[in-house]
Structure 1
């Protein structure tokens, strides 16, 4: 147990100057209206909201963007709202990265809600206290209000928050020094300091990030959450996440959702509790063993093999063969490479990178 660590959020004093609440919006006024209702019901109200509204992609976006701006302007009668309306469309990821960089050049921390994340009434209070609790613990990179726990995780966890190697942005907080340390604003879109996706350390948590990075690289896509997860992992940072969510995502099935356009999956809000007021904190900054343990070579290759459409490029398989011990393990990676050659050939015929 680290005696310098607080064990209860209730015992962590709030700062005199509260961090700004940063809201990212675009073309979903019906959703941001619900988010603002949730903000208005907070036990502790923010002193300042800073809203970044992305620019239009097409003419039909403009009235929806105007509705979002009008809602934010109306809400400023309750809490001061500074609105930054982008003059052109930056896209979700670039808008967020620039927004965080701009805000954290002025403030020492921030709390973030997207326009589809509705907080329960304890959200802002708990997040402010979390930022204070871990402000001087540099190994902690971010905080979250969203609970996503691997099924294998021991059910006997005895605190309301645990340590994580993955970033969860559904109700997110970060400090200026941590954000500027990874310097995402000056990084390429699929930034991966490990080099190939197969070099990312694989655990029961980070194996998901590893595969997501594979698809980002090969489909030339961006996802700021995956990128900061990998950047923080490279610097051996950890994140504080709850065991019960105190936010809920309402963005499923919306036509303008970036990632989740379909029906709400069962896992998405499974751990949400409208009345959750998490308090107890972990007694150390050591990951529990099951989250710390790396996948062995058999587990790793089986996980990759289970990903439909994933392939190993010649450089990837060469790297894996070079570092793999034992002929049987080498055979498994070589088998995956050979069985997925047709996938590579189809991509090459379609002019896509492999």
Structure 2
């Protein structure tokens, strides 16, 4: 597979999580042929400085990829601005990007899945985002991959042609929604995506991901997803600045390569219903408190 997408890994003050994330990435098919860019945010507080330094020391010694570049921020940007800046930089240079954060364990076939999908749907304007995480859906009849409306943020990829539609201005996003769109955007009220939009407007979060999903949604875009997760998030241990110690997102990482992709560029109704059922069963406990889909750790 030629012309592989660069990998952007965003890290902060969790050297142990970063080490595990890198260890799993290195076990990926295509790792040694891939360029890795590690974006290290600067410490926000004095107490973060030691851990940030440890994380940077770890990152500086990474080998096993085609190339490794460590980008050390001089001032604290926060996760949202760091990701927006890093993704913008790489899609401008390479036309596409694969995005990881410091608490994501991957299947050996995650990079292969991303690169295959990036190549396959490069010229399909409605396909705007490729996600690698998926809930443990009780739907064995689903195909290996499917299109869906919401953009997940735990291991994802996109193209410059899609990222150009990213709208960071929350007011410009809000004014394009009506009641019907809000209903559709929030998976018929099963997910508190709209609450996250309102919380961003109120200054209660600084999520890049909810603005990205809103940008995709308002363009009529679709996201590609695996029916069996290719990512496990290990950030639910309370170590993240905005993370909760929860286990509802625990999944079994698929150990099989993805070999089937949808031909029809349309949302899969069976997958949509399966996700809606999953969210409905869990809404009563965690979903009202935190949406770990949309990262806002710093």
Q: Identify whether the pair has TM-score above 0.5, normalized to the shorter chain.
A: yes
Aligned length: 273
Distance 1:145 1:190, change over 3 A: farther
Superposition map of 1:97-176 within 5 A = 97-148=84-135, 156-157=141-142, 159-176=143-160
Alpha-carbon separation, structure 2, partners of 1:292 and 1:194: 26
Per chain length, whose mean CA-contact separation is higher, i.e. which structure has more relative contact order (CA < 8 Å, sep 6+)?
2
Q: Which residue of 2 aligns with 1:205?
A: 187
User: Structure 2 length as normaliser, TM-score?
Assistant: 0.82
Is residue 52–residue 84 contact of structure 1 (8 Å, CA) maintained in 2?
A: yes
Distance 1:308 1:70, change over 3 A: closer
Superposition map of 1:1-354 within 5 A = 14=1, 16-45=2-31, 46-76=33-63, 78-148=65-135, 156-157=141-142, 159-182=143-166, 184=167, 187-188=168-169, 192-195=173-176, 198=179, 200-203=181-184, 205=187, 207=189, 208=191, 209-255=193-239, 257-260=240-243, 262-266=244-248, 268-270=249-251, 272-289=252-269
User: Structure 1 length as normaliser, TM-score?
Assistant: 0.70
Deviation at 1:223, TM superposition (A): 1.0
Alpha-carbon separation, structure 2, partners of 1:211 and 1:290: 26
Is residue 128–residue 223 contact of structure 2 (8 Å, CA) maintained in 1?
A: yes
Distance 1:87 1:41, change over 3 A: same
Question: Which piece of structure 1 moves more, 162-171 or 191-200?
Answer: 191-200
Alpha-carbon separation, structure 2, partners of 1:113 and 1:252: 16
Higher radius of gyration, 1 or 2 = 1
Q: Which runs of 5+ in 1 are unaligned?
A: 1-13, 294-302, 310-354
Secondary structure of 2:128's counterpart equals strand
Q: Which whole-Å deviations, capped at 9, do the CAs of 1:49-97 have from their partners, x for residues lacking one?
A: 0111111111221221111111111113654211111111111111101
Q: Which runs of 5+ in 2 are unaligned?
A: 274-282, 290-298
Deviation at 1:104, TM superposition (A): 1.3
Q: Which whole-Å deviations, capped at 9, do the CAs of 1:91-116 have from their partners, x for residues lacking one?
A: 11111011111111111101111000
Alpha-carbon separation, structure 1, partners of 2:86 and 2:104: 17
Alpha-carbon separation, structure 1, partners of 2:268 and 2:65: 42
